[in-house]
Structure 1
């Protein structure tokens, strides 16, 4: 189908957060970029308004079949398949988990509560961080903090795009009980600006996201690879700043993304914040650091 054959709608450089930035060691970048290409291509299928739900599911099945070597239909899945074949320590698990989330996107347009949204994030966001950690040979003990940080980034993205998702795809990630509790309705997302009720709802979700970011801030010190530790510190700071922007601006009316200059500035803040931890590691005797 044509939706599978097209190039992904954007590259890793267009994301809110670093994807295989220069902080990542060169030997790991190809695997991360292959995973990103797979994810972006599959995401484009479920976001294609010209496709029916069944066509979207069929497209995602083609992604899975190509990834597992049962088909050659999807070009965007082949680089990751090659990486998995070459690096036996990696499995398709995190890509398959991602496809589960995309299948939800194909048929599910509403979320009843925060727990339902977190279940979605467990498949749409957490696998991304886990794959990057696996590429670096990190311990699974890092997964809880990574899951929290990735889920925070996912919710931030949902809140940034809440109006566009509703208008273009009739997809609403804001939990229904959060809207109802604030006295807001889904139709408020079609407005030119957030109503006081919708604003109250968003503020409550932003507060919950801040708790996820706080839990995710534990990740950089847990990561053994120094370069990845810096990368995760940058991502944590960017998440913190993006969440603050959502507090300050109206996603229905205002620009709520970081510009390149601002993103670079906050990336530097993230690096600086992690330097004490990095210096402590470098000062440790090699035998102790290996424990």
Structure 2
């Protein structure tokens, strides 16, 4: 469905770009793949901005998201936010499935503001995060056996973002990704998220969920050594290392009152450590063993 009279997806853009994200976007990717990945990113960013828009109604958000879906699949008129990805997919003969999964996540954001438990949150991550890694792997022609390592990394990145922004999400969007059963288990409440400093109960909840994220990162630790493309392996290793560092911050700091995002120096340090990790994992005799094990 198009939206000829209302706000367009372009008008709903926040102005945030790929260099503003918490984690690197196609920094080390080979130029032959970077354009397609950035086209995917910009489409997803436009849809995310619609879902998070402060003044659009739920119906307006869903209408715009449906319009992006229709433009992407050719069911509706072209949209400037969808066109670069349409071209990239057509050039590679790829379906729009991964982008459509993300659109479904943003429809959830428009309709849903609470999550019952970890399984409910992981279902959301299966739509909002895992398709990103799967798209990047498919662009590179990687074996889909690598999805089993990519999925937990992408889910961990999503949960880390939720924990970092939990106060802002609750205040600005009345959206709480921290599972209700985790809050209840530690005696915390949604009201705690609207304060300028976390209560002990909320801190316990955040550290509990940071620990769950650390478990996801343990499942993805071998991922850099399982991809064939060397530059992709380096980028994955940098992201993995940065994610592990951020989990450490979330286990010891209060995201409502303290900085829990990486500084430029910390991001650079994670990049250096990540590259070293990738080179170690990909040393002769190790990479082939891991790929064989994955299959």
Question: Structure 2 length normalisation: TM-score?
Answer: 0.93
The 5 Å alignment of 1:49-88 reads 49-72=54-77, 74-88=79-93
CA contact (8 A) 1:8 1:37 kept: no
Match of 1:26 among 31, 36, 40: 31
Separation of aligned partners in 2, 1:162 and 1:39: 21
Separation of aligned partners in 1, 2:287 and 2:43: 39
The 5 Å alignment of 1:155-194 reads 155-194=159-198
The alpha-carbon deviation at position 112 of structure 1 amounts to 0.6
Give the structure 2 partner of residue 2 of structure 1: 7
The alpha-carbon deviation at position 70 of structure 1 amounts to 2.6
Match of 2:100 among 87, 96, 99: 96
The 5 Å alignment of 1:108-187 reads 108-187=112-191
Question: 2:46 matched to 1:41?
Answer: yes
Separation of aligned partners in 2, 1:274 and 1:121: 25
Separation of aligned partners in 2, 1:139 and 1:189: 41
SS in 2 for 1:279: coil
CA contact (8 A) 2:152 2:217 kept: yes
CA contact (8 A) 1:62 1:73 kept: no
Deviations 1:160-209 (A, max 9, x none): 00000000000000000000000111100011111011111111101100
Separation of aligned partners in 1, 2:273 and 2:280: 13
The alpha-carbon deviation at position 74 of structure 1 amounts to 2.7
Deviates more, 1:150-159 or 1:248-257: 248-257
Give the structure 2 partner of residue 266 of structure 1: 270
Give the structure 2 partner of residue 214 of structure 1: 218
SS in 2 for 1:106: helix
The alpha-carbon deviation at position 279 of structure 1 amounts to 2.9
Give the structure 1 partner of residue 17 of structure 2: 11
Structural RMSD (CA) = 1.7
CA contact (8 A) 1:9 1:40 kept: no
Separation of aligned partners in 1, 2:58 and 2:151: 28
Give the structure 1 partner of residue 201 of structure 2: 197
SS in 2 for 1:280: coil
Gaps in structure 1 of 5+ consecutive residues: none
SS in 2 for 1:251: coil
Separation of aligned partners in 1, 2:222 and 2:277: 12
Match of 2:228 among 219, 224, 228: 224
Deviations 1:8-65 (A, max 9, x none): 52111111111110x2111000010000001100000010010111111001001101
The alpha-carbon deviation at position 264 of structure 1 amounts to 1.2
SS in 2 for 1:192: coil
Give the structure 1 partner of residue 3 of structure 2: none
Aligned length: 284
Gaps in structure 2 of 5+ consecutive residues: 1-5
